[in-house]
Structure 1
Amino acid sequence: MTTLNTAAGRARPRWRDYGRPRELVVRYLLLLFVLAITVGPLVWQFLASLKGTGEDVFGAGASLLPHHPTLRAYREVFSQVPVATYIRNSLIVVVLSLVSQLLFSTTAGYMLSKPGWKGRRLVWVLLAASMMFPFESIMVSLFLGIRDMGLVDNLVGVWLPGFVGAINVLLMRGAFLAVPREIEDSAMIDGANEWQRFRHLYLPSAYGAISVVAINTFISAWDDFLWPLIVLRSENHFTLTLGLSRLQSSSFGYDQRMVMAGAVISVVPVLVLFVITQRWFYKGVSAGAVKF
């Protein structure tokens, strides 16, 4: 028993195993700096949204912590704008995007990972090249196409240009390429057809990459502002980010606290989703790296 305890005690990492004290200090200072510039603005927005009407949000006299915290800004946001309608519209776009992205990115990525058909390399090159063009360069042509289809001021028009992404297809291709060829050969010998191999062999091995596609799709569809601003016209079709941007207009008196409260409301679902799924996200990023 003493020997086992001694061996277990030796196996435990000590603080010296993580580097010299000076290296640890530098490492944690860098981590704190990155934390401050990434999480700091979100914390500041939340604290600013809790300030009362007599407290400054900006300026030399503004303080970080609210002296008299209140939820007045949140109550005003929900009473003055139809937040429930905005959330419903955003969820419609998100659900449509998730279904189309997961369906087409997995099937297209699977086909690109399969050797033996002509044009596979050309399709891969075209998908990779399409990611080099910024959205702003094709924005006008996209809008003209949506207008000709009669989808202006329609949530389908918001969803349609992003129904599948090239980066997601290539991500799934990389995940499927990681599946050993010998396993598929064994499944073929056992009589599994193409759909059975895709459903029971490839998809379970790519759950990490699938979670990355789902998270990225949710974030991009939920946070999108520019394209809904171009396509949508009526307020009852506004998404959450577009609708809450109205809080900055003069019709609401440009209450800085309400603007901060609206920003917090729009970002909370994304933070909750990421906290819940971060384990699968990081696993999928490493497992689904694009392979050449």
Structure 2
Amino acid sequence: MSSNSTVLVVGSANMDYIVKVVVPPAPGETVLAKALVKHAGGKGANQAVAAARMGAKVRFVGCVGDDRDGENLLRALRQEGVDTGAVEIAAHEQTGLALVSVFQSGENSITVVPGANYALHANRVRRAFGSDTLPPVVVLQAEIRPEVIHAAIDAAAEAHSRIVLNLAPYQAMPEATLSFCDPLIVNESEAAAMVGFPVSDLDSAQRALKVLRDSVRSAVITMGAQGACWSDSSGEGLVGAPTVDAVVDTTGAGDAFVGALAAELSAGASLEQATTVGVEAGSFAVGRFGAQSSYPMRDELGSVTAGHS
């Protein structure tokens, strides 16, 4: 691993096939789309780009197919300055893809076909840690196989790296794995799945954080337009989201949050500071179309990022 790597992202890379429709089709109904566009996506690749745009030095560990989508995803990552030397190209796998419907409201629905993302092996992830120079922040999501997540967290813990786990889409994780998360990042529905009660407002989010803190070192619950709640050994709080003039597309906004937060943590920010920058990045992203293409550069955010460069 290169000595200047500060954020290591282990995760998925997908090609997003995005269709714009006015409203979702009902069962049995056919609707006409306004357009089809392709964008680089996947939670892992998205978070890598978001961190890189915030100024972090980023290395990505993942797997793509030996096809045109895979070539384009790798090119997109490299153009953002992400080190792709640890990305495997699987000869007999199709690159992962996401079928994204974006509605006039700005909301979306997404179906993911994992493809080559499920060909990522634990051994490749372990090899990414096979150096004396180790990343201070390791970022993971749940679009890869559970055993790969466990292997990455074990390797990161041995390396004394800080582990950021975005448990999206939600899947059950053993307590031993969760115990290293600093922070665990979930949205309202993912938090509800973990704690067993609905999470929809500040009160329920703070109650959920108290439950989650029994299992993890720190936790963040993202709450869309309400902002994000955080909790660690120093305390807890809510970071409100800035007003967004127009919600264009929420695709990948959560990944903008995670990547920006990880970049800030790698630069020495507190969890509260990192959550604040993450909220700004996510709020910026919903005002633009696409996932990676919507992410802010550091100088596009407000004064909140000053001093953490």
- Quickly name the TM-score band, shorter chain normalised: under 0.3
Looking at secondary structure, tell me which structure has more strand per residue.
2
Larger Rg: 1
Question: What is the TM-score of this pair, normalised by structure 1?
Answer: 0.21
Question: What is the TM-score of this pair, normalised by structure 2?
Answer: 0.21
Looking at secondary structure, tell me which structure has more helix per residue.
1
Q: Relative contact order (C-alpha < 8 Å, sep 6+): which is higher?
A: 1
